[in-house]
Chain A
Amino acid sequence: MAAEPVKRITDIGPPNFEKFLHPVIKKNYGLWKYHDNLAPGVLCHVAESGDKIFTVRAASPRLLSTTTIRQFADLAEKYCGGYLRFTSRNNVEFLLDNQANIEPLKKELLALGFPVGGTNNAISNIVHTQGWVHCHSSATDASGIVKSVMDALCDRFTHEDLPAKLRIALACCLNMCGAVHCSDIAILGVHRKPPKIKHDILPKVCEVPTLIASCPTGAIRPATVDGKQSVEVVEEQCMFCANCYTVCPAMPLNDPENDGISIWVGGKVSNARSAPKFSKLAIPFIPNEPPRWPGVVDAVVNIVEVYAKNAKKFERMGEWIERIGWPKFFELTGIPFTKYHIDDFRLAGTTYARSTHIRF
């Protein structure tokens, strides 16, 4: 070919954020003095110079059509010179220098169906994953449960009346794409049956040694099935983690009747007051109930309401539970305590009660 090869652009990295900053933010970068919470979903940051930037935070379903993104762009142009950002929890934030624009913007957002809130002691948006919309690994859906749970908790997003922040996260399998293991309430998809080995395709699509090495409990052993090289799973040793499926497509765990959801509570990320901590098991299993997941919705709402009624000001879920003790948590929430709540994986003993400190 005679034509000059066109130079292919690669390795340019993300665009520099500076060109996307509101002029007030650019001018006062690193020079902020304090902030005020004007209303749920509305923040005002004040700079040393006296300049102010107002933030209006609205919910989004994370899965957004380009049509909706363009609507956000329209609103940003109409009210804030085109400047907006998204948060680590899938909210959209409009950045305004004119306080008078706050109310009209809020009105338009509400009319389009995007509630304003999620700041301070409100429940923010749910961090979540792909589920049946896009992932092969899911033990449950993601977006549908998030939608159902947040429909029930929408008032807690638009009001800041909880004792402290409350963060909910959802992951549709144990891979946990998202920080669900450190959330006040975590909703986690779980399998309950071992992989159903597809012996016919296994030798073609998987490397047997890699597959065997992938199992954290050593449950997978080489085996010959119908004269062909394959594997078998020692079922008593399987804890349904799906590591094997991640490395080998011939090991699916999906099972409509046995897959479902577990609920975990009391984790936190922030260092405020107490150290960050993992979420702990509250409910080992709730079946998948599409399209509205009533079992999960009721369970989450119950935990939120019991927490809201009993925790002291500034106490996160986990801090409240540590104060009252786990027996009281199970009593107040009415959640049954089972043998599944007692750890039996590696180093299990670290969560056993090793003192006589018992509340009666």
Chain B
Amino acid sequence: MADEKVQTKLLDELEKGPWPSFVKEIKKARKVSPVCDDLLGQLELSYEEKVGHWKHGGIVGVMGYGGGVIGRYSDLPEKFPNVAHFHTMRINQPSGWFYTSNALRTLCDIWDRHGSGLTNMHGSTGDIVFLGTKTDELEPCFKELTEAGFDLGGSGSCMRTPSACVGKARCEWACYDTMKMCNDITHQYQDELHRPPFPYKFKFKFSGCPNDCVASIARADLSVIGTWKDDIQQNDAEVAAYAAKGLDVQDDVCGRCPTKCMKWDGKKLTINNRECVRCMHCINAMPKALAPGKERGATLLIGAKAPIVQGALLSSVLVPFVPADELMDTIKELISRVWDFWDEYGKNRERVGELIQRVGMGNFLDAIGLDPVPEMITAPRDNPYIYFKDEA
């Protein structure tokens, strides 16, 4: 019996319990591909020995592309020959991760023909991840994917696959069209995505409002986060309805406003919109009563990254507000200047945020031709070590 071929005593423990089980998923895929038996065997061994059994990746890929495939080899190829090669392919997801059942079936059919039948929906950057195939299958799989209208995502020192929140497709708070922006930027920079040109990776993420559902401020080199300039739209009858239904408008809404710019007299809510920092709290608390204003656009922030190499960074403000209809042109113009500077001065494996830290934000702004504005900082410097320059 195929099922008895590998003993998975430890992994079987992970089939129990109410949460969906990845072990069950791997077992389901055995019907698609025998590689799953060896994957289970190797994973069981990792569970016994408490150590992974994959080798450092090698460089594999499809013709003409410098990324999109993660090479992976077992360190026990004699014991588990079917996972001797077990490369993943990153496939660029449609904006917002929307699919039709037909599109999903097409992807499944292609992957059943060319790989393990295992996927990640999705990888943490946003791509569809096809998990596990052999070098020989990469090119034929790529051919079928492109014929079906899909393309690979990024890996290595390239523009990584951009991602976006649902935005205008299903969220009343979207201050610009995140999904279209994501789609357009991805198409605009196909060369930078497929043929790594940079010192290191570069990520774009598009969130429609300050709730930042794609975590762009934590993960994107360029974070585009929707916001508004005019007043919060307010429906007094609905505010009263929330209060009547038991929401404590004083404590839970006004009391949690970071700038204390709201007043509730028991009947009427007053917002001092000039002091509002557009944090979304009151709108989140009363979605029927409040909404972002009508003069919408986005804040551009730069430089987020996880700790490797020099420590984690959050993005910081680069342009406080760009109106929605100017966003695409502004991003294209700015990014070409940022990329030029990074290309020239960035060290190997230095993300743009680390470069800015090394050369100083002031010098970086000079280089990309932006004027400094106080929205970029939480406070001016508190040390007197100023690098004065000769001014002409």
Chain A contact residues, CB within 8 Å of chain B:
8-17, 19-21, 25, 29-30, 32-36, 45, 53, 55, 59-70, 72-74, 76-77, 82-88, 90, 92, 95, 113-115, 127-129, 131-138, 141, 143-144, 147-148, 150-151, 154, 171, 174-182, 210, 213-214, 216, 241, 243, 245-247, 249, 254-257, 259, 269-274, 276, 278, 288, 290-292, 313-314, 345-346
Contact = CB atoms under 8 A, between A and B. Distances in A.
A154 B18 contact: yes
A256 B218 contact: no
Given A14-B95, A14-B151, A62 B19 contact: no
Contacts of B151: 10-14
A53 B72 contact: no
Interface in B85-142: 86, 88, 92-105, 107-108, 111-112, 117-126, 131-132
Given A13-B190, A136-B54, A214-B309, 5 more contacts: A15-B94, A20-B98, A61-B25, A176-B307, A290-B50
Interface stretch (B264-272, B284-292, B331-339, B367-375): B284-292
Contact of B186 (A13, A45, A61): A13
A290 B9 CA distance: 11
Given A90-B122, A274-B258, A64 B94 contact: no
Given A32-B172, A60-B121, A178-B124, A314 B26 contact: no
A156 to B, nearest CB: 11
B131 A63 contact: yes
Contacts of A61: 19-22, 25
Interface string B273-291: 0000011110011011001
Nearest to B20: A61
B157 interface: no
8 contacts: A14-B95, A29-B169, A63-B25, A70-B105, A82-B101, A90-B122, A144-B14, A291-B11
A290 B12 CA distance: 12
Contacts of A12: 146, 149, 151, 190
B326 interface: no
B2 interface: no
B56 interface: yes
Enumerate the 9 nearest inter-chain pairs by beta-carbon distance, A residue then B residue, closest first.
A151-B17, A73-B101, A249-B56, A271-B210, A82-B101, A178-B124, A9-B146, A176-B306, A66-B108
A291 B13 contact: yes
B63 interface: yes
Nearest to A75: B101
Contact of A134 (B49, B72, B163): B72
A11 B25 contact: no
Given A14-B151, A84-B99, A133-B43, A115 B18 contact: yes
B309 A216 contact: yes
B341 interface: no
Contacts of B79: none
A141 B219 contact: no
A66 B32 contact: yes
A274 B210 CA distance: 11
Nearest to A153: B19
Contact of A150 (B13, B19, B64): B19
Nearest to A29: B168
Nearest to B161: A14
A278 B312 contact: yes
Contact of B172 (A33, A144, A178): A33
Contacts of A276: 212, 217-218, 314
Contacts, number: 351
B52 A175 contact: no
Contact of A32 (B132, B170, B285): B170
A84 B104 CA distance: 10
Contact of A10 (B64, B72, B165): B64
A273 B257 CA distance: 6
Contacts of B43: 132-133
A138 B52 contact: yes
Given A14-B92, A136-B57, A182-B314, A85 B97 contact: yes
B105 A272 contact: no
B168 A136 contact: no
Contacts of A246: 308
B108 A136 contact: no
Contacts of B39: 133
B93 A14 contact: yes
Contacts of A269: 212, 215, 217-218
Given A88-B165, A138-B52, A73 B105 contact: yes
A134 B86 contact: yes
Contacts of B177: 30
A249 B71 CA distance: 13
Given A34-B172, A45-B170, A176-B308, A254 B52 contact: yes
B234 interface: no
Nearest to A132: B46
Contacts of B14: 143-144, 147-148, 291-292
A254 B53 CA distance: 10
B51 interface: yes
A53 B308 CA distance: 42
Given A20-B99, A256-B49, A249 B218 contact: no
A45 B172 CA distance: 8
B29 interface: yes
Contact of B124 (A127, A182, A214, A270): A127
Contact of A272 (B96, B122, B179, B284): B284
B308 A243 contact: yes
Given A134-B131, A182-B314, A272 B281 contact: yes
A128 B50 CA distance: 19
A88 B214 contact: yes
Contact of B215 (A68, A88, A214): A88
Interface in B177-221: 177, 179, 183, 186-187, 190-191, 193-194, 210-215, 217-219
